[in-house]
């Protein structure tokens, strides 16, 4: 279960492809939102792809993931199919949450992907609880909790930090510091803007990582994961990053200037890796266009899948509010899904 | 220039602006109310005009900044606190229920908390199970609080000023589906904030409602007219204290009542109002009271299911026909 950092070409190309899948998928999502295929809120991860991709590659299938409403990238990098994610955003029954959750609430038990929490800070105590269950039942798994720097101001953040350290829980906290919580800049929300420092005051290992560099994120994650598995104690990564798009679908971005956005875009995780690979003769233009073509085909297949998905009948409105009676076992989710995937 | 047409959002903003101009002790505080202009754009432009001391952007910490609001009110200021939506107000509920609502009583009447808390509420934007609820009833349950539900543009414009004039904590619910709609705004409120208003006179059945459902009740009343049913529409406006007198007077006249409430049926305000009618107007009723509420399910994401969960105009019409036929 021990992961090693591979700096070989094949692995870096795989990481590039993962980041590009997220990037192109979300660009298409923005388009589909404009066409009203996707509704509600749509929070794009564009600019932050290196974090999800870097962290996920350090995990095993048994580990648990807790994310926020900005979780398309995490779901993709974790291995949920693009089809089931897009179908969810369409609100169809072949979506990963069977259409009930939408963009902000992607879930997949088979991937130990525990959402999709749209209450800022809400995932943190929950992640500590999953970690407690893993530890007390000797499951040899850890829990990764992703959240934005805005959540650091919430009481639930501090309660979760304290409990995780106090009870020695195997959690990896990943703060995605993209510098803004909606329109509120970090300096306007934190008394101490070094978030890793804040976390370390609870007595846990904490460090800042360049969240625009997928290799750095992966290396830091491997180290963190190893340490958590050895010690059963929490670990904190502050990944410094930037959100290239608005907070959600309705954001005029009056709170930051275009020059700042441009500056960060130039250091973006995708462009950076491509440039490095090319400069070192590890990537041919043709390879890149092949990757792009594969992704394009995957996106088209996801759209077809989502378009063919069913609307849940209104007669089922009150379904899944409570668990079914003990006698009927809960296998329907898995069956529905595999049937759906074959469409 | 006695009347004006404004969007609900503009009417709210005009109310806040008047409050800021009228009283130096007033300030607006909440997440993204300043530089961002408010999560639903209500306070857009105010930061630029009134500055960072009176339009205060807070970090994400609902319990913290609502509690600070309670303290500032105790200390002699007149805070308007914006909690983005009722969904996030749950994180501040302790400060609202255990402090704001109780301080006057616990101190034997020495202290009072002149605080106004505004929050968006309601479903209809496909925001799913953590962003769509109507929990006015949670707060309407609490002695020590007053709860307002401006359903018209005029109330959106003037209720804030009425709330600020009150010495005790007042919560104002702003339904998200109203924000973009336009309507008439008068120079002043039509009534005190605690009074229910008859928005449509009728003689056959009382449609009792508030907030985002008022428009649905009025639309239903219009359709019912074509069916020769004369519906009276009661806009509660204030959910705590309830204007029992107006409710009873209407039901005493029409002898039938349908309550339309976007909350879940169980434990809803509709249940409370139904009990009030039973206690005070039982012998005037020609049919059992009917409640139309949201289906007992967290609001689902897809539009067809979200809409199916909510009370709709057709249901009101059908219920009114059924209640007229019952005898
Ligand atoms: C408790 C709570 N308060 C407010 C909101 C509204 N809201 C949603 S996302 C957000 C900003 C969060 O910023 P951050 O944690 O930095 O994450 P990011 O969106 O930048 O990824 C806000 C204020 C919410 N969903 N939950």
Please check whether residue B88 lies inside any domain of the structure: yes
Please check whether residue B192 lies inside any domain of the structure: no
Chain A hits for B129, CB-CB cut-off 8 Å, are 100-101, 105
For chain A, percent of residues with pLDDT exceeding 90: 91
- Count of beta carbons in the 10 Å neighbourhood of residue A193: 16
Is A71 a pocket residue for ligand 1 (Cβ < 6 Å)? no
Chain A hits for B297, CB-CB cut-off 8 Å, are 317-319, 321
Calculate the CA dihedral of residues A211, A213, A216, A220 and round it to 10 degrees: 30
Q: Are residues B146 and B224 in the same domain?
A: no
Q: Are residues B107 and B202 in the same domain?
A: no
Return the pLDDT at A2.
61
Is A72 a pocket residue for ligand 1 (Cβ < 6 Å)? no
Please check whether residue B282 lies inside any domain of the structure: yes
Q: Are residues B42 and B155 in the same domain?
A: yes
Question: CB-CB: which of A182, A190, A318 is closest to B32?
Answer: A182
- CA B134 to CA B121: how far, in whole Å? 6
Is A148 a pocket residue for ligand 1 (Cβ < 6 Å)? yes
Whole-Å CA distances, B271 to A278, B100, B220, B278: 68, 26, 21, 10
What pLDDT, in 10s, does the model give residues B111-163?
A: 999 999 999 999 999 999 999 999 999 999 999 999 999 999 999 999 999 99
Distance B180 CA to ligand 1 centre (A): 23
Q: Are residues B180 and B202 in the same domain?
A: no
Q: Are residues B257 and B308 in the same domain?
A: yes
Q: Is the four-CA dihedral B80, B82, B87, B92 of positive or negative sign? A: negative
- Of the three residues B138, B165, B185, the one that is the final residue of a domain is B185
Is A238 a pocket residue for ligand 1 (Cβ < 6 Å)? no
Distance A180 CA to ligand 1 centre (A): 9
Give the distance from residue B62's alpha carbon to the nearest chain A alpha carbon, in angstroms: 8
What's the CATH number where B14 sits?
3.40.50.970
- Collect all residues with Cβ–Cβ distance below 8 Å to B22 and sequence separation of at least 6: B161
Token output for B91: 């994180």
Question: CB-CB: which of B60, B295, B297 is closest to A120?
Answer: B60
Tally A–B CB contacts below 8 A. 115
Among A150, A186, A255, which is best to mutate for testing ligand 1, by the most ligand atoms less than 8 A from CB? A150
Is B230 a residue whose pLDDT tops 60?
Answer: yes
Give the distance from residue B294's alpha carbon to the nearest chain A alpha carbon, in angstroms: 11
Atom of ligand 1 lying closest to residue A149 CA: 16
Domains and CATH numbers, chain A: 9-342 (3.40.50.970)
Q: Could you tell me if B57 lies within 8 Å of chain A, comparing CB atoms?
A: yes
- Of the three residues B164, B185, B206, the one that is the final residue of a domain is B185
Please check whether residue B77 lies inside any domain of the structure: yes
- Of the three residues B185, B207, B239, the one that is the final residue of a domain is B185
Among A45, A123, A151, A181, which is best to mutate for testing ligand 1, by the most ligand atoms less than 8 A from CB? A181
What's the CATH number where B319 sits?
3.40.50.920
Q: Are residues B181 and B203 in the same domain?
A: no
Please check whether residue B191 lies inside any domain of the structure: no
What pLDDT, in 10s, does the model give residues A263-318?
A: 999 999 999 999 999 999 999 999 999 999 999 999 999 999 999 999 999 999 99
Q: Are residues B14 and B140 in the same domain?
A: yes
Q: Are residues B311 and B168 in the same domain?
A: no
Is A342 a residue whose pLDDT tops 70?
Answer: no
Is B61 a pocket residue for ligand 1 (Cβ < 6 Å)? no
Q: Are residues B307 and B202 in the same domain?
A: yes
Return the pLDDT at B265.
97
Please check whether residue B215 lies inside any domain of the structure: yes
Average confidence (pLDDT) over B314-319: 98
Task: Provide the domain count of chain B.
Answer: 2
- What is the DSSP code string of A211-237? TT-HHHHHHHHHHHHHHHHHH---EEE
Return the pLDDT at A343.
39
Please check whether residue B45 lies inside any domain of the structure: yes
Chain A hits for B180, CB-CB cut-off 8 Å, are none
Find the closest chain B residue to A97 by CA distance: B301
Q: Could you tell me if A337 lies within 8 Å of chain B, comparing CB atoms?
A: no
**Substitution target from B179, B305, B306, B312 for chain A, most A beta carbons within 10 A:** B305
Is A61 a residue whose pLDDT tops 60?
Answer: yes
ipTM of this predicted structure: 0.96
Q: Are residues B25 and B125 in the same domain?
A: yes
Domain membership of residue B264 as a residue range: 197-325
Please check whether residue B190 lies inside any domain of the structure: no
Chain A hits for B35, CB-CB cut-off 8 Å, are 183-184, 254-255
Q: Are residues B166 and B268 in the same domain?
A: no
What pLDDT, in 10s, does the model give residues B55-74?
A: 999 999 999 999 999 999 99
Q: Are residues B176 and B257 in the same domain?
A: no
What are the residues facing A68 on neighbouring strands?
A: A117
For helices B269-281 and B244-254, the axis angle rounded to 10 degrees is 60
């Amino acid at each position: 279960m021990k992961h090693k950092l591979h700096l070989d070409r094949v692995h870096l190309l795989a990481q590039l492809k993962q980041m590009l899948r997220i990037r192109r998928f979300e660009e298409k999502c923005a388009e589909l939102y404009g066409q009203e295929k996707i509704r509600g809120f749509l929070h794009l991860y564009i600019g932050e792809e290196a974090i999800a991709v870097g962290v996920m590659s350090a995990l095993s299938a048994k580990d648990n993931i807790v994310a926020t409403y900005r979780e398309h990238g995490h779901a993709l990098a974790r291995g949920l199919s693009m089809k089931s994610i897009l179908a969810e955003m369409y609100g169809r029954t072949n979506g990963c949450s069977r259409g009930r959750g939408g963009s902000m609430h992607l879930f997949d038990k088979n991937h130990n992907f525990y959402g999709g929490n749209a209450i800022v800070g809400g995932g943190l105590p929950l992640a500590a609880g999953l970690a407690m269950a893993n530890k007390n039942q000797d499951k040899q798994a850890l829990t990764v909790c992703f959240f934005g720097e805005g959540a650091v101001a919430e009481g639930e953040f501090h309660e979760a930090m304290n409990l995780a350290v106090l009870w020695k829980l195997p959690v990896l906290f990943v703060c995605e510091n993209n510098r803004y919580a909606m329109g509120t800049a970090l300096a306007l929300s934190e008394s101490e803007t070094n978030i890793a420092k804040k976390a370390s005051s609870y007595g846990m290992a904490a460090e800042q990582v360049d969240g625009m560099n997928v290799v750095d994120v992966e290396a830091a994650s491997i180290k963190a994961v190893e340490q958590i598995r050895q010690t059963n104690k929490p670990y904190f990564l502050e990944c410094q990053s930037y959100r290239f798009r608005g907070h959600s679908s309705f954001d005029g971005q009056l709170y930051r200037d275009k020059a700042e956005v441009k500056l960060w875009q130039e250091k973006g995780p995708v462009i950076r890796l491509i440039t490095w690979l090319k400069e070192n003769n590890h990537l041919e233009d043709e390879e890149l266009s092949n990757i792009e073509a594969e992704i394009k085909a995957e996106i088209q297949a996801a759209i077809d899948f989502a378009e063919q998905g069913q609307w849940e009948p209104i007669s089922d409105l009150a379904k899944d509010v409570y668990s079914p009676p003990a006698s009927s076992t809960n296998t329907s989710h898995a069956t529905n899904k595999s049937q759906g995937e074959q469409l | 220039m006695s009347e004006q047409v404004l969007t609900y959002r503009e009417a709210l903003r005009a109310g806040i602006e008047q409050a800021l101009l009228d009283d130096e002790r007033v300030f607006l505080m909440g997440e993204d109310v300043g530089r961002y202009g408010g999560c639903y754009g209500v306070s857009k432009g105010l930061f630029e005009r009134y500055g960072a001391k009176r339009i205060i952007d807070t970090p994400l910490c609902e319990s913290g900044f609502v509690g600070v609001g309670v303290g500032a009110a105790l200390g002699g200021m007149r805070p308007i606190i914006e909690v983005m939506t009722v969904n996030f107000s749950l994180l501040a509920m302790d400060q609202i229920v255990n402090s704001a609502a109780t301080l006057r009583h616990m101190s034997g009447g020495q202290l009072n908390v002149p605080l106004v808390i505004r929050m968006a509420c309601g479903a209809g934007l496909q925001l799913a199970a953590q962003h769509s609820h109507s929990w006015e009833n949670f707060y309407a349950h609490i002695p020590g609080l007053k709860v307002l539900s401006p359903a018209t543009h005029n109330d959106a414009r003037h209720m804030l000023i009425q709330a600020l004039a009150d010495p005790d904590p007042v919560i104002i619910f702003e339904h998200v589906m109203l924000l973009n709609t336009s309507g008439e705004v008068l120079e002043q409120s039509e009534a005190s904030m605690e009074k229910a208003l008859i928005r449509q006179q009728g003689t056959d059945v009382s449609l009792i409602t508030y907030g985002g459902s008022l428009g649905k009740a009025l639309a239903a009343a219009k359709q019912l007219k074509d069916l020769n049913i004369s519906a009276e529409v009661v806009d509660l406006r204030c959910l705590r204290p309830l204007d029992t007198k107006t409710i009873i007077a209407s039901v005493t006249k029409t002898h039938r009542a349908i309550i339309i409430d976007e909350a879940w049926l169980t434990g809803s305000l509709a249940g409370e109002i139904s009990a009030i009618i039973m206690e005070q107007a039982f012998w005037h009723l020609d049919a059992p009271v009917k409640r139309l509420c949201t289906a007992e399910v967290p609001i689902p994401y897809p539009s067809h299911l979200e809409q199916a969960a909510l009370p709709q105009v057709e249901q009101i019409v059908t219920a009114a026909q059924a209640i007229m036929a019952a005898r």
